[in-house]
């Protein structure tokens, strides 16, 4: 080395001591930076996987909702059929009631007329 740049053993020892004390910190800082970059990449990869998973779940949910909608339409049609059948039964019962009512009314008129006729004949 040149004389102007020559370092004494004390200075070299101080530099060695300085470097030894801080070397682990420097390495850990570099490692942390690297691990920060790695962590950032891992986080980005996780974000991508989560987004893909959400897209798949969204598609499955949409498909499920479509199937539920079809099922609700089928149930609604079934209710309409049942409602129609009840309406038919109601009309049939109404018709039967009217027939029975008409028969009983006619029977009452005939019996009443016969009774009145008998009473009139008995009074003469």
Per-residue pLDDT of the chain (124 residues; tens, 9 = 90+): 455 668 888 888 888 888 888 877 777 776 666 677 888 888 999 999 999 999 999 999 999 999 999 999 999 999 999 999 999 999 999 999 999 999 999 999 999 999 999 999 998 7
Sign of CA dihedral 96, 100, 103, 109: negative
> What CA–CA distance (Å, rounded) separates 112 from 123?
16
Q: What is the pTM of this model?
A: 0.45
The pLDDT, as a whole number, for residue 101 is 93
In a 3-state reduction of DSSP, which class is residue 110? Answer: helix
Residue 4 confidence (pLDDT):
60
Q: What is the pLDDT of residue 124?
A: 79
Nearby residues of 15 by Cβ (< 8 Å), 6 or more positions away: 7
pLDDT computed for residue 73 by the predictor: 96
User: How wide is the angle at C-alpha 61 spanned by C-alphas 58 and 63, nearest 5°?
Assistant: 110
The pLDDT of residue 64 is: 95
Q: Cα-atom radius of gyration of the chain, to the nearest Å?
A: 51
Q: Which helix (H) or strand (E) holds 57?
A: helix 9-123
- Alpha carbon distance 22, 13 (integer Å): 14
Confidence (pLDDT) at 31 = 62
Token pair in block for residue 15:
């530099």
> Residue 89 has what pLDDT?
95
């Amino acid at each position: 080395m040149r004389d102007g740049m020559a370092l004494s053993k004390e200075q070299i020892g101080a530099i060695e001591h300085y470097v030894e004390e801080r070397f682990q910190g420097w390495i850990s800082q570099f490692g942390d930076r690297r691990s920060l970059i790695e962590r950032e990449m891992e986080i980005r990869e996780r974000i991508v996987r989560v987004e893909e998973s959400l897209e798949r779940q969204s598609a499955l949910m949409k498909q499920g909702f479509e199937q539920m909608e079809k099922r609700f339409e089928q149930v609604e049609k079934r209710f309409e059929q049942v409602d129609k059948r009840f309406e038919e039964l109601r009309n049939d019962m109404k018709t039967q009631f009217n027939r029975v009512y008409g028969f009983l009314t006619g029977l009452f008129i005939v019996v009443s007329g016969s009774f009145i006729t008998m009473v009139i004949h008995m009074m003469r």
